[in-house]
Amino acid sequence: MLTQNLGYPRIGSHRELKKVCENYWAAKTGHKTVLQVGKNIRQENWQMQKQTGIAIIPSNDFSFYDQVLDHSLMFGAIPKRYNEVILKKGNTELDLYFAMARGYQQDGLDIIAMEMTKWFDTNYHYLVPEFYKNQQFKLFSTKIIDEFYEAKQLGITTKPVLIGPISYLLLGKEKENGFEKIDLIKNLLPVYIDILTRLDALNVEYVQFDEPFLALDLNEKEQKAFQETYRQISNAFPRLKIVLATYFDALDNNTELAASLPITVLHIDLVRAPQQLDKVLEVLGDRTILSLGLVDGRNIWKNDFENSLSIIDHAVKKIGEERVWIAPSCSLIHSPCDLDNETNEKTLTPEIKQWMAFAKQKIAEVVVLKQLATKEQGTAAETKFAENKLAQQNRKTSDLIHNPEVKTRVKAIVTKDAERLNVFSTRKMKQRAALNLPAYTTTTIGSFPQTTEVRSWRAKYKKGDLSQKQYDDLIADETAKAVKWQEEIGLDVLVHGEFERNDMVEYFGEQLEGFTFSKNGWVQSYGSRCVKPPIIYGDVKRPEPMTLNWTVYAQSLTSKYMKGMLTGPVTILQWSFVRNDQPRAETCTQIALAIRDEVCDLEKAGIKIIQIDEPAIREGLPLRKEAWQNYLNWAIKAFRISASGVQDETQIHTHMCYSEFNDIIKNIADMDADVITIETSRSQMELLDVFADFNYPNEIGPGVYDIHSPRVPKREEMIHLLKKAKAVIPQEQLWVNPDCGLKTRGWDETKKALIEMVEAAKEMRKD
């Protein structure tokens, strides 16, 4: 029985990768320093896994920005618009890579970034490959080979990790008509063969192919592509041992397909889909090894050893110990790095900490499970088992978790609690009369740049170097500047800037009962953007208003409308580490009631426009369509509960970003928000087509520029996008706004871009 890991966090235990990349982008450090920091992180990860006792350690799981982008570079799937970056004297492969991720606006060039979207149902974002008819691929980057050799120099023989060829193609987007992306497999497969030939020459034993699309619905052509692709790989490399990794859901109707492929090891996710085990055991080939994904790669709760051991025992009795491996459920990039870094007992109490495990601890759990299952290590392993059992029992009986008042309120919810007083057509007339906003109303999504100075105030305040009054005065001054500047450039609906907020979810979690936090529990969201998800351990309640004071203060500074800015219940749920001892729907409803109370308080205080952000609605959608409706029923209801306590004249906004809405457009309409703002600039307004085809009744703010790129768009570019929007959406429904919040941007680029945006709206009004 062997242990394996599918992937390890690449940001570093103290976000070293984030810091060096951002310094490089700001021209504060050099190319060689970035490469060295990456090397240090990789080597620390490999050595830790080896010392802990993992038998099969991954390589090529490290990335400077995104693993899908790594593969696009490796395969030479580089859009032609970046050719000038390649040719520019002094640019390195790393510069090209970052240009594809972030756009490029220097040396007289102005090139947009590649489109970005969510990685399945996670909060991780990947760069979408761009495909063209008859596209050719070739080996461009040798990163996978270089990193295997690098580990070998340390005395560690790793398992190189590749996104499988079928999943890579299905992750991409056709950029012209007349072909299906899966048809490109005949052009892509030779590059995989080239890579495997080079790895084979280095005496690689195992290669991991990540094929998460096996946990989704596949059509007949895609199923045949799997069979033919892996047949060719197996025939070409009979010595190589292929580890096929699936995760995030069950194989279900793809079980026979996966089991029939000529592979050595099949990995399945038994955290998200424990019910699939028996069916997989029934159809597994006589020689195929089964890797049991038992340690949760996406949450922070300790593994229940007793439950996992019963699963291992069941598998061993069916196929034998030598054909069973133990592993995390998926790559650990979705987990924080190391619980040992959590030393502040005020932030994370010992009682709650004893229930948790981060990536480093999950690696140890995998090893201990193997020791217990094979009766290795004797007393030492049994002691860990006893400690685990005690922690599980303590969590079940802790009085921190359950609040009868909250449970009673959830049970008392009735239908009208999730309904506005009148339908949108009635509300629209009342809102237009009450608000009197111009055509092409301009606004932003909520946050303004959190400069180093603003972040330093928060750090000093938390350390006690600033008093509450000193901190509040600084935030008030920054807010006043932001409000004044918005008035000066002519924005129509203002925001207060959110300078008091550390994160759009963490800020609310800090003020809600049932939440706790880590100090260093960072996970990668995209590129250098790291988030520190709150931890929901118990029933959720709002003890007092959370945003009221700052919103009312900002409104007092202007005669224009100030938006109240809230994060919605589904997004708070999705972007937190959620308790796993009750249904997620129950926890989401508890959060919805807390947000509803905040919305009602804002309305009572005179705030006429309230935004409840739900960027994670699409992200939470189950991978299998058959499970969609159940999720959508409770998710949409939770949003409506949060938004439906107000009068018709109060305008409710929501915001969504980096999602495909085609399949759930009716459900988005069912949310019944008065205005929805969405990301559309990277896709050049393609996303609006579904809203037009559906005849979406409410108002829409399609993002007219990409805030995840530092480039400043020209006014003409935004006008072009607005005209594309106007061609499919009636102009009286259109708002004008950026794609997303501006927290991560600098003030210089933000000011330039928003001035151009306001002028673009004025140009549109002239029509």
The annotated binding site for Zn(2+) is made up of 655, 657, 670, 679, 740
Helix (H, G, I), strand (E, B) or coil at 206: strand
Distance CA(213)–CA(649), nearest Å, equals 45
DSSP per-residue letters across 449-512: ---HHHHHHHHHHHHTSS-HHHHHHHHHHHHHHHHHHHHHHT-SEE--B-TT-S-TTHHHHTTS
Longest dimension (CA), the chain: 80
The annotated binding site for L-methionine is made up of 445-447, 498, 613
Question: How is residue 291 written in tokens?
Answer: 């890797």
Q: Which residues of 671-689 are buried (b: 16+ CB within 10 A; e: fewer)?
A: bbbbbbbbbbbbbebebbe
Question: How is residue 611 written in tokens?
Answer: 């935004």
Helix (H, G, I), strand (E, B) or coil at 210: strand
Helix (H, G, I), strand (E, B) or coil at 414: coil
Backbone angles phi, psi at 656, to 5 degrees: -135, 145
The burial of 374, by beta-carbon neighbours within 10 Å (0-12 exposed, 13-18 middle, 19 or more buried), is given as: middle
**Contact of 558 with 497, CB cutoff 8 Å:** no
Distance CA(700)–CA(688), nearest Å, equals 9
314 is catalytic: no
Residue corresponding to tokens 């799937």? 77
Q: How many CA atoms lie within 13 A of 203 on its CB side?
A: 3
Q: Could you say which of 125, 653, 708, 720 is catalytic?
A: 708
**Contact of 410 with 641, CB cutoff 8 Å:** no
**Contact of 94 with 34, CB cutoff 8 Å:** yes
Instruction: Tell me which DSSP letter residue 526 carries.
Output: E
SS (H, E, C) 76-108: CCCCHHHHHHHHCCCCCHHHHHHHHHHCEEECC
Q: Are strands 561-567 and 577-578 parallel, antiparallel or unpaired?
A: unpaired
Q: How many CA atoms lie within 13 A of 591 on its CB side?
A: 35
**191 closest CA partner among 75, 73, 68, 71:** 75
Quickly count: other Cβ atoms within 10 Å of residue 246's Cβ: 30
Q: How many CA atoms lie within 13 A of 416 on its CB side?
A: 3
Helix (H, G, I), strand (E, B) or coil at 389: helix
**Contact of 73 with 93, CB cutoff 8 Å:** yes
Q: Which residues pair with 59 in a beta bridge?
A: 160
Question: How is residue 554 written in tokens?
Answer: 């900002």
Q: Which residues of 160-194 are buried (b: 16+ CB within 10 A; e: fewer)?
A: bbbbbbbbbbbbbebeeeeeebbbbbebbbebbee
User: Which amino acid type is present at position 85?
Assistant: V
The annotated binding site is made up of 15-18, 118, 123, 445-447, 498, 529-530, 575, 613, 619, 655, 657, 670, 679, 740
Q: How many CA atoms lie within 13 A of 21 on its CB side?
A: 24
What residues are annotated to the active site?
A: 708
